[in-house]
Structure 1
Amino acid sequence: MKNLYYNRGTIFRLEVTYPAASLREYEERDAETESIETFTELDPNWKPEGWEASADWVERFHTDRFFWPAVKPFYNTRSTANERARLFRKYGATVVVRQSRPIEWEYTEAEVLARRVRELEDQLATALLR
């Protein structure tokens, strides 16, 4: 059987740019080549200006230190991506929400036919109930 494609919509991802002050650089020397490489990472001691841990924060996360929210590889809905983007922006990050092109999932001909049969059965059941 040949493979068919079925459009299932789009997904979303975040491009987060952290404030420069929240980053720190460090260097590591390669023992073999003696070269020095510079890396950038989030500063674990940084916190947004004026931010203090609330009692809710401490209770929920068991720490009074600030940390950035996690970024998922992708979000299924625009509203979920926008909610997470709003949280990052609240703490001073710049965020762009990107939408994918339409996604096509690969199905076999048998899977497509089985799906169509289920759709027709649902339509028939609805019509009989009227």
Structure 2
Amino acid sequence: MDPEHQPSRGGYYLYRVVITRFPKGALFFYADDGEEFGDIDPEWEPANWNPDEEYISRFGSRKFFWPSTKYEYKSKKSALSRARLIEHYGATAVVVRSSLITWDEP
């Protein structure tokens, strides 16, 4: 149970992970109409990247990819776990909390 869950207030929070900094070389940059853009370099992998057999079986490749940050989490602990995984690969990640979510009474 999320310690920040406040049923007496009739609401709860959601959490998500935001990558704030990628390791050097993990992004490539390009210009388009005078603006510079960055994107994830699909060929980059962490130093000493050596996936185990379970990873290869699960994803069908040895290729590295960043863990997804598109999900919302009901507990801060789950979001922190994802942030730690991302940071294990050299990025910096933060957990952000939503505003209090409440539901109207029926």
Taking only aligned residues, the RMSD between alpha carbons, in angstroms, comes to: 1.7
Structure with the larger helix share: 1
Which whole-Å CA distance do the structure 2 matches of 1:103 and 1:7 have between them? 8
Structure 2 unmatched runs, 5+ = 1-8
Q: Tell me, yes or no, if the aligned pair for 2:66 and 2:86 is still in contact at 8 Å.
A: yes
After TM superposition, the score normalised by the length of structure 1 is 0.67
> Any conservation in 2 of the 1:7–1:102 contact (CA below 8 Å)?
no
TM-score by length of 2: 0.80
Rg larger in structure: 1
- Paired-residue identity, %: 35
In 2, Cα distance between equivalents of 1:7 and 1:62: 44
Runs of 4+ in 1 over 6 A off after TM superposition: none
Report how many aligned residue pairs link the two structures: 97
Distance 1:42 1:60 in 2: 22
Q: Distance in 1 between matches of 2:27 and 2:68?
A: 16
- Give runs of aligned pairs for residues 74-113 of structure 1, distance below 5 A: 74-107=72-105, 111=106
Q: Structure 1 unaligned segments of length 5 or more: list them.
A: 1-5, 29-34, 112-130
Letter in 1 for 2:25: A
